[in-house]
Amino acid sequence: AQKITQTQPGMFVQEKEAVTLDCTYDTSDPSYGLFWYKQPSSGEMIFLIYQGSYDQQNATEGRYSLNFQKARKSANLVISASQLGDSAMYFCAMIRRSNDYKLSFGAGTTVTVRA
Amino acid sequence: NAGVTQTPKFRVLKTGQSMTLLCAQDMNHEYMYWYRQDPGMGLRLIHYSVGEGTTAKGEVPDGYNVSRLKKQNFLLGLESAAPSQTSVYFCASSYSPLAGNEQFFGPGTRLTVL
């Protein structure tokens, strides 16, 4: 069963604007973590940000922030001040203690930044 | 540090042929993983290892075997390749999946099975 859902297959955003990528997850495990990875057209996987289920504050890393709404089981990625280099595929992923901490990925969202 | 490296980068096989993909990491990580990436499906875990000499099945293990004889290396084998195994294969490693330690990914191997 799909545990991670990314409902936006593709998005366009204007340069310098902010964009929010949706991610919802399904687990009853109280101990879990959520990751976001970026995959540019060159193919490599780049770690962006992490949020643990017990973290009290939303994670931030530079222009990336994670809007963590635990009760709604959502972990949306916000990219502020978009740059052309942000054009890529973005994956949400989850680890759960009940799944031996294996990483489960969503299907991804393609972001295209327009000049 | 080279990080995570994968050999080869590209390969074309005929149905029924065998091959081994090599993953190497120089970060002294305990955990290593093999994923496949198909269009529209994200990454799916094939096999993983929590330490030297250990392996475990992931989400899509059928048709693949793995070995972790040395801590720094994780091999993925295809004994009899099938067209359904055409995919991009990623290896990853991490210090520990706990406490948000990220997985470091290799550059990927693009495999085509004819």
Q: What is the pLDDT of residue B44?
A: 94
pLDDT band at B47; cut points 50, 70, 90: very high
Encode chain A (115 residues) as per-residue pLDDT tens digits: 558 999 998 999 999 999 999 999 999 989 899 999 999 999 999 999 999 999 989 999 999 999 999 999 999 999 999 999 999 999 999 988 777 778 899 999 999 999 9
CB count within 10 Å of CB B19 equals 16
Alpha-carbon span B13 to B10, nearest angstrom? 10
Q: What is the pLDDT of residue A25?
A: 96
pLDDT band at B40; cut points 50, 70, 90: confident
Closest CB to A50: pick one of B41, B58, B100. Answer: B100
**Considering only CB atoms, which chain A residues are within 8 Å of B108?**
43-44
Residue of B99 and B47 predicted with greater confidence: B47
Q: Is A25 on the interface with B (CB under 8 A)?
A: no
Q: How do A109-114 and A10-14 pair as beta strands?
A: parallel
For B13-59, the three-class secondary structure string (H helix, E strand, C coil) is: ECCCCCEEEEEEECCCCCEEEEEEECCCCCEEEEEEECCCCCCEECC
CA A34, A38, A43, A45 torsion-angle sign:
negative
Q: What is the pLDDT of residue B97?
A: 73
Q: What is the pLDDT of residue A73?
A: 96
Q: Among A19-23, A79-83, B45-49, B92-96, which stretch is predicted with the lowest mean pLDDT?
A: B92-96
Alpha carbon B56 to its chain's center:
12
Structure tokens, A14? 């204007």
pLDDT band at B27; cut points 50, 70, 90: very high
**Cβ partners under 8 Å of residue B97, min gap 6:** A33, A95, A101, A102, A103, B31, B103
Alpha-carbon span A45 to A37, nearest angstrom? 6
Q: What is the pLDDT of residue A2?
A: 55
How far is CA A29 from each of CA A52, A95, A96, A100, rounded to the nearest angstrom? 12, 10, 7, 11
Q: Is A35 on the interface with B (CB under 8 A)?
A: yes
Quote the minimal CA–CA distance from A99 to chain B in Å.
10
Q: Give rounded-to-5 percent helix, strand, coil for chain A.
A: 5, 50, 45
Alpha-carbon span A67 to A61, nearest angstrom? 12
HSE value, Cβ hemisphere, 13 Å, CA-based, for A90: 30
pLDDT digits (tens, 9 = 90+) for B58-79: 999 999 999 999 999 999 999 9
In B, what residues contact A, Cβ < 8 A?
Answer: 33, 40-45, 48, 56, 58-59, 88, 90, 92, 97-100, 102-105, 107-108
